[in-house]
Each structure stands twice: as C-alpha cells, then as structure tokens.
Structure 1
C-alpha cells in the first residue's frame, strides 16, 4: 500500500509539472509572438532602466518597511481596543458601542486612496498648531485608521467565537470581566484570527506604496520619477516584483498557519 501511494504521488507530481510547463510554454510563445511584443519588451522590460531603478527603489523600500512596522503595530493595538469596546455589555455602554461601530463601518467603506488624500492634504489646510504637515506621518495615520477598522472586525469575530461557557466558567471561579477578557477570551480569540490578521498585514504592506501621492519618496515614488523622466515603465515592473518578493513568504506562512490550525481543530474534534 505504501509503495502504491508513493507511485501515485510521483505520477501526480509528474503530471502537474508537465501541465505547468506546457501552460507556461504556450503563454510564452503567445506573448513573445504578438505583434506588439518588441515595443512592449523595450517599454516594460528594459535591462538598462531596470539597473538604474534598483538603487533608488531599495532606498525607497526602506520607507515602505518602516511604515509597515509602525502602522502595523499601531493598527493592531487600536483594532484590539475597538474590538474590546464593541463587546462591552450593558445599556450604559450603548454610546460607546455605537461610536465604535460607526468608526469601523465608516473607515471600512472609505476607499483608502480617498482617505489618504483627505488626511494628507486636508489636515495641513486646517493650519492647526502643533500638528505636523509631514506627508509620511499623515499617510501613516491614514493607513493606521483604515486598517484598524478591518482588524477590529477580525478581533471582534474572534472574541465572539469564544463560547459563552468560557466566560461563565471564568466568572464562576471569581475572575472579573477584565481578567476574563485578558486571561481567557483574548488568548483564544487572537489565536483564531492570526491568519486573517496576517492577510491584513500583507495588504498593508502593499498599500504603503500609496503614500507617494502625498509627496513621500518611497519605492513607488522612485519608480514614478524615473518613468516620468524616461517615458519607460520598467521601473514599475521592478518595484512591483520587489513588493511581490516581500509578500510571497508572508502569504505562504499565512497559508501554512491556516492549514496547521485547521488540522489542530480537526484532531481536537475527533478525539
């Protein structure tokens, strides 16, 4: 039986490899055989312009990674607070629940690029004393506000997925509401929504490239500057591949983590 399974596995791997190679070959010949391929190759795949953009793009990518780190941590903290506020019980907390629900609904519905434009160009127009006009800080604030709304829903779903009997048992042994949330509910809730939060962070990593609209010189801005000067769009391809190289490992980790948690739940359910 083991030998049969191994042979089936090898056969499936060979078939998958052959079909993938065949599809790749067909796509290659279709693209390179098209009438406009010579112009497209020169415009989007120029080795000369690719070499020129690598240095500026890497320097700009440092800003994107800094924004990812700062905005990711800030959005997670704010989202956890919002999710906790939405789970408060009792009529006295109705205004709090309504305000947090309105915050989440409003900023989840607001297109990120519109929010960036409003904050980056609107806040300086108010001329408030002590408020920065730095497009990097304002752009980071917009990213934090937008993604905290998405992550808050992830946290809320995780909190509500914990069975009420867990809370009842915690209260029965004398834990307060705050202690119940801290030691019983939140550890389980966070563990359940980690894959969704990782996916949000992957999206945040890509969306940090939007801060260039406010004047910040990140990787996307570096590509835009070169493209505007040379009328060649290879820089966009290079920067896009840089973001892909950063994103793929994280997405694969999220997939692996999701499968691992599914296996744990399945094993727990069959015992």
Structure 2
C-alpha cells in the first residue's frame, strides 16, 4: 500500500512495469539466459572436480605431497578472499592482454573459468568439512579390509562426505547461477546484459525485472530441492 500510493508510483510503473517493453525484450533476454545456463552447467561440473581435488589434497598426510598441500591452502585462501567480480575482471581483461598462444580469449569461456576459480575454493572447503566429518572408525574398517589409502578415500570417505554436504553444495550452486550474471560487466551478452542493453536504448528498465524472473525460475526450484535434501538427511540421521 505504501508503494502503490506513493507519489512516484506512476513513474515507477512506466519505467519498470511496461508490458510492451517486456514483450519486446523477452527474446533477447531468453537467448542471453541460455548463455547463463551453459555457464552454470559447465561451471558446476568443473567446480566439483576442482573442489574434490583440492579437498582431498588438503587432507593427505603423505610428506611428499606437502608442496601440493601448500598450493591448495594458498588457492583456497586467495580465491575465497577476493571479490568474485574482481576475479572476473582480472581474468577476462588480463588474460587476453597477455597474448599467450593457445589460451582462449573468448570472454564467456574466461568468465566461466573465473567463476570456477572462485567457487572451486568455496566448494573445496565444503567437501573438506564433509571429509573431516567421517568417523575414523570408517577409515579403520576400510583399512582392515585391505583397502589402501586412495581406495579408502574413493570408495568409503568421499561418497559419504559428498552425501552429507549435499545441501550446502546446492546452496553454492544456487549462488553460482546468480553470479553468472557478473560476466555482464565484461561485455558477455547474457541475460542481464541483454536487459541493460535494451534499457539503455529505450530508457525503460522493465527488462531488468524480466531477467530477474528468469533467474528466479531456476533458483527457486534449486532452493526447494536443497531444503528437501536437508530435511531428508536430518530424518535419516535421527532414524525417523
């Protein structure tokens, strides 16, 4: 009531709630959102790989892997501490400026790589927490059955750890889907950039809300899936 009765409500409707401009911008936003989805899917797979490798590396105890453990610690500390937007800028602008042969210069690819670097550090810590939550008796039982350290990690520890941290992992991936829009800052014509481009030319910002609805259509089901998995895990642990 406060919003709709405000003095500038009519101007707000003209700027952000125009059905005409929503229809006009819809095809470009839908096409751009397909880029967001592709970045999300590819990024999610790569992030899981990076997260598992870094988490397992940090949990190793072999002395000759100490240099790798140090690299893993530095990686997680640096990329958890840096703003994701800053990493996107540095990777997407800095890498092409280096002119290294064989390195892709496509900003969509580089933007995805930047997101993988940042979210890989977060996911690695989530998976490491899951690994640390496995009771030592599980590892002792596996070793008693003749499994080596690598086999124990692969067949006993990791499956249980990932199952335990699935809800927080899905939360990270919900955030990842939203943060794919950060590549708009370096000129990738994804959903948000398409909305901004239309608004700048037509002086109407309804497409921004249309772009937001596209993200909500994907992130809300993911959020509900996360809640359902969390409840199921809680029920299973309590034996109900």
**TM-based fold match above 0.5:** yes
Provide the residue aligned with 1:5 in structure 2: none
Q: Secondary structure at 1:35's aligned position in 2? A: coil
1:94, CA displacement in angstroms?
2.4
Can you list the C-alpha shifts for 1:158-184, whole angstroms capped at 9, x where unaligned?
A: 001001111111111211001101111
Give runs of aligned pairs for residues 148-163 of structure 1, distance below 5 A: 148-163=120-135
Q: Secondary structure at 1:216's aligned position in 2? A: coil
TM normalised by structure 2 equals: 0.97
Which is greater in Rg? 1
1:197 aligns with one of 169, 180, 183: 169
1:222 aligns with one of 173, 190, 194: 194
Q: How many residues align?
A: 240
| Residue 59 in structure 1 maps to residue 31 in structure 2 | yes
| Residue 263 in structure 1 maps to residue 225 in structure 2 | no
Gaps of 5+ in 2: none
More helix by share: 1
Provide the residue aligned with 2:113 in structure 1: 141
CA distance in 2 between partners of 1:67 and 1:194 (Å): 21
Provide the residue aligned with 2:53 in structure 1: 81
Provide the residue aligned with 2:95 in structure 1: 123
| Residue 35 in structure 1 maps to residue 7 in structure 2 | yes
CA distance in 2 between partners of 1:247 and 1:139 (Å): 20
CA distance in 2 between partners of 1:109 and 1:33 (Å): 43
TM normalised by structure 1 equals: 0.87
Provide the residue aligned with 2:217 in structure 1: 245
1:91, CA displacement in angstroms?
3.2
Provide the residue aligned with 1:183 in structure 2: 155
Instruction: Report runs of 4+ in structure 1 exceeding 4 Å deviation.
Output: none
1:36, CA displacement in angstroms?
1.0
Q: Over the residues paired in the alignment, what is the CA RMSD in angstroms? A: 1.0
1:106 aligns with one of 78, 81, 93: 78
1:260, CA displacement in angstroms?
0.8
1:92, CA displacement in angstroms?
2.9
Provide the residue aligned with 2:19 in structure 1: 47
1:70 aligns with one of 30, 42, 45: 42
CA distance in 2 between partners of 1:39 and 1:69 (Å): 39
